[in-house]
Amino acid sequence: MKQTISSSFRLGILGGGQLGKMLCQAASTWDVSTHVLDPDPEAAAASIATKFVHGSFRDYETVMKFAQDVDLLTIEIEGVNIEAIEELEKSGLPIYPEPSCLRIIRDKGLQKQFFITNNLPTANFALFDNASAIRQEVASGNLQIPFVQKTRLSGYDGQGVLIVKEVSDLDLLFGSPSLVEFFVPDAMEIGVIVSRNKSGEMECYPPVEMIFNPVANLVEYLLAPARISDELIAKATEIALKAAEAFQITGLLAVELFIDKDQNILINEVAPRPHNSGHHTIESAITSQYEQHLRAIFGYHPGSTKLKMPAVMVNILGQEGFSGPVVYKGLNEVLGIDGVKLHIYGKIQTRPYRKMGHATILDTDAEQALEKAKRVLSTLKAQA
Ligand code: ADP
């Protein structure tokens, strides 16, 4: 393979959202050229990629053509055309994460089966072809409410996830093939990002804690490091490393975990790419998750994952009631708060709950960082 850290090296990225944009920024630090494929001509990464190709990463021919011009291919989203990347891998193009990992991870049903086969702890589940099969299972008493239904393919950011809490929720079931799993009550949610290179060298970031908005039931703050015991940190890290090893993945593996009331740790799901829960690493860690992904897929040693300081990350979501070209309100006030680092993704159109940017708030005192993050959230508004 060509010298990777060089402007003549062309890194192909399928997907040009914010993760793709931040990956391009890290690649540019190393003077690596980036080629990005995305169906949205206004994609976040479009303005920053060395070359932006407008087209669908879900389409076989488009992906095959795009890949002719790259030296290594990676992804920032799971929903890419799997047949195309399998074919490209056969023809000798290096693709990381490996298409074999992606084939399992993109299907939540196969992902859960993989956890079971590899002795990785996860909530009990069953697979169903359609909604009526689930209703029958409930009617016959074999399936108890509450439970969680997840569509097997193309779920993202809570879409394709239904928490069935009462009988009337059965009317809302998704009709497509899905998995149904045990509802983990009062769980704390944490995330651990692991990197693994081709030689099997692995490194883990400290667990982060996801703090939910109790009303909207959405992650509101992400706190690094998580406020959990050393024992739980060790256990979560061990599970995340075991998962990356089991997948034999090259690149990042983001592992989302539940800690239940009895302090058992269960894997919720994994993602084979940079992750929302790792945004804070750009400022808070010695090595950002994006640089770490590049190190892993280029075959270099992992960088240090030590945190320089506690950090809180908040997503800047499109405000409810506004759709259209975005205008940010409160920028000056927010930039006046000590330790606030702002990332605006450059999405031109806002709509309710669209991820428009994020802010990372650094403070030597984690509780102070949380207080400041609350001020950021209540001040900064993405409106139209
Ligand atoms: P996505 O792929 O959209 O992120 P997840 O599988 O992470 O979907 O589910 C979204 C959210 O739903 C989780 O963060 C969690 O709050 C809740 N959830 C998912 N599965 C369970 C479960 N088995 N028990 C309790 N809550 C769950």
**pLDDT value at residue 215:** 74
pLDDT reported for residue 143 = 96
| Rounded Cα–Cα distance for residues 241 and 253 (Å) | 9
Q: How many angstroms is it from 220 CA to the middle of ligand 1?
A: 14
Element spanning 334, H or E: helix 331-335
In angstroms, what is the span from residue 235 Cα to ligand 1's centroid? Answer: 20
184 touches ligand 1 (CB under 6 Å): yes
- Residue 107 Cβ inside 6 Å of ligand 1? The answer reads no
54-108 per-position pLDDT tens digit: 999 999 999 999 999 999 999 999 999 999 999 999 999 999 999 999 999 999 9
The answer to whether residue 289 scores a pLDDT higher than 70 is: yes
- Which CATH number applies to 124-182? 3.30.1490.20
| Measured distance CA(315)–CA(222) in Å, rounded | 9
Longest dimension (CA), the chain: 62
CA atoms of 302 and 309, how far apart (whole Å):
20
Least confident of 5-19, 215-229, 279-293: 215-229
- 10-95 and 124-182, same CATH topology: no
DSSP state of 365: S
70 Cα to the center of ligand 1, angstroms: 35
- Residue nearest atom 3 in ligand 1 by C-alpha distance: 158
What is the sign of the dihedral through the CA atoms of 132, 138, 143 and 148? positive
Beta-sheet pairing, 265-271 with 251-259:
antiparallel
What pLDDT digit, counting tens, does each position of 220-260 carry? 999 999 999 999 999 999 999 999 999 999 999 999 999 99
Tell me if 182 sits within 8 A of 246, measured CB to CB: no
* Domain spans in the chain, listed from the N-terminal domain onward: 10-95, 124-182, 188-383
Query: How large a percentage of the chain has pLDDT more than 90?
Result: 95
Phi, psi of 41 (to 5 degrees): -65, -20
Lowest-confidence pick of 80-94, 157-171, 173-187: 157-171
pLDDT tens for 8-17 read 999 999 999 9
CB 11 within 8 A of CB 31: no
Please state the three-class secondary structure of 119-149 as a single string: CCCECCEEEECCHHHHHHHHHCCCCCCCEEE
CB-based contacts of 138, cutoff 8 Å, min separation 6: 144, 145, 170
Ligand 1 center to 122 CA (angstroms): 12
120 lines ligand 1 (CB under 6 A): no
Instruction: Determine contact, residues 162/131, Cβ cutoff 8 Å.
Output: no
At residue 217, does pLDDT exceed 90?
A: no
pLDDT at 222: 98
CATH topology of domain 188-383: D-amino Acid Aminotransferase; Chain A, domain 1 (3.30.470)
Residue 213, pLDDT score: 81
Confidence of residue 156 (pLDDT cuts 50, 70, 90): low
DSSP H helical ranges for the chain = 18-29, 60-67, 82-90, 99-105, 108-117, 131-139, 230-247, 281-284, 289-298, 331-335, 366-379
Residue 187, ligand 1, Cβ within 6 A = yes
User: 60-67 and 82-90 helices cross at what angle (nearest 10)?
Assistant: 40
* Distance from C-alpha of 182 to C-alpha of 380, rounded to nearest angstrom: 37
Going by C-beta distance under 8 Å and a sequence separation of 6 or more, which residues neighbour residue 91? none
Bridge partner residues of 222 (DSSP): 210, 313
Mutate to test the pocket of ligand 1, among 108, 122, 148 (most ligand atoms within 8 A of CB): 148
pLDDT level of residue 198 (50, 70, 90 thresholds) = very high
Check if 228 has its Cβ closer than 6 Å to any atom of ligand 1.
no
Task: Measure the CA–CA gap between 224 and 252, rounded to whole angstroms.
Answer: 18
Q: Is the CB of 155 under 6 A from ligand 1?
A: yes
Is pLDDT above 70 for 158?
no
DSSP 163: E
- Joined together, the tokens standing for residue 157 give 């950011």
Q: What would the CATH number be for the domain defined by 10-95?
A: 3.40.50.20
Neighbour-count burial of 117, counting CB atoms closer than 10 A to its CB (0-12 exposed, 13-18 middle, 19+ buried): exposed
